[in-house]
Amino acid sequence: MDSGTREMLAHELYEAYRTKVPLDRLSDRHPGMVVEDSYEIQLIQIRRRLAEGRTIVGHKVGLTSAAMQRQLGVDQPDYGHITDDMVHLEHLPIPVDAYIQPKVEPEIAFVLKRELRGPGVTVHQAIAAIDFVLPAIEIIDSRIKDWRIGLLDTIADNASSGGIVLGSTPVGVGEVDLRLSGCVLHVNGEVAATGAGGAVLGSPLTSLVWLANTVGALGVTLEPGHVILPGSQTGAVAVSAGDAVTARFGGIGSVTARFTGDRVATTVGAA
């Protein structure tokens, strides 16, 4: 794929993000598309957001469950960027019309106190770089119609990113076994999904190490203060206006996201 086509697709995705009008599947329209094209398309959009005043506050890892990898026919995760305008405050209303087809996923978020620069990062180095963990809800969204995505489409679309909601109960990484920490996701008081940390590549720490080494090979460093979402402990659950979503994690605490039909600026980085 030439640079002009990459720029064109990045512009289309950016406009879909802005207008909330989804696109047809990119990989069907461009059968010669490869993973390197998709990551460059993602980066073109991120560079545009940075030029408009946004800042990178972290990264997210996707496709960490065996089920999702089988569904898309891949054998490794993917990653995307988290910008400041994607961060929502817990309990405050989140407008669903800020998204096209939002779903939620419960995750244990890492907050870093030291930089992680791969390749070559080990598990013990990753643990030493973590300041604390937080309960989190990721809002995923797709700029591709009807979530009809493949690996190339989701990577180009910033790993189907939407937003994040972080809880306010920091817990030391040594205070909980992340593999065994169970999660129950409630929507409007009803159990919508259950899971455990082991669903995330065997351990969320494995996901953090994978991310540090993968982006490190590209010259990217995970910075102190950055939030890392390592992947969902359950399947994704669709949400709509009026829904209240709570994720409860064993040994960590809970976080709640509330969705409204009103257009209200509730992101931390909203202008």
Whole-number pLDDT of residue 31: 94
In the predicted model, is pLDDT for residue 130 greater than 90? yes
- Residue 266 within a domain: no
Burial category of 208 from C-beta neighbours within 10 Å (exposed 0-12, middle 13-18, buried 19 and up): buried
- Residue 160 within a domain: yes
* Residue scoring higher pLDDT (5 or 263): 5
- Residue 61 within a domain: yes
- Residue 270 within a domain: no
Buried residues in 222-234 as b, exposed as e (16+ CB within 10 A): beeebbbbbbbbb
Reported confidence tier of residue 268, pLDDT bands at 50, 70, 90: very low
- Residue 114 within a domain: yes
CATH code for position 78: 3.90.850.10
- Residue 245 within a domain: yes
- Residue 237 within a domain: yes
Query: Above pLDDT 90, what percent of the chain?
Result: 87
**pLDDT single digits (tens) 11-42:** 999 999 999 999 999 999 999 999 999 999 99
Torsion angle, alpha carbons of 211, 212, 215, 218, to 10: -150
- Residue 239 within a domain: yes
* Residue scoring higher pLDDT (73 or 224): 224
Our count of domains for the chain comes to 1
Q: Which domain holds residue 96?
A: 3-260
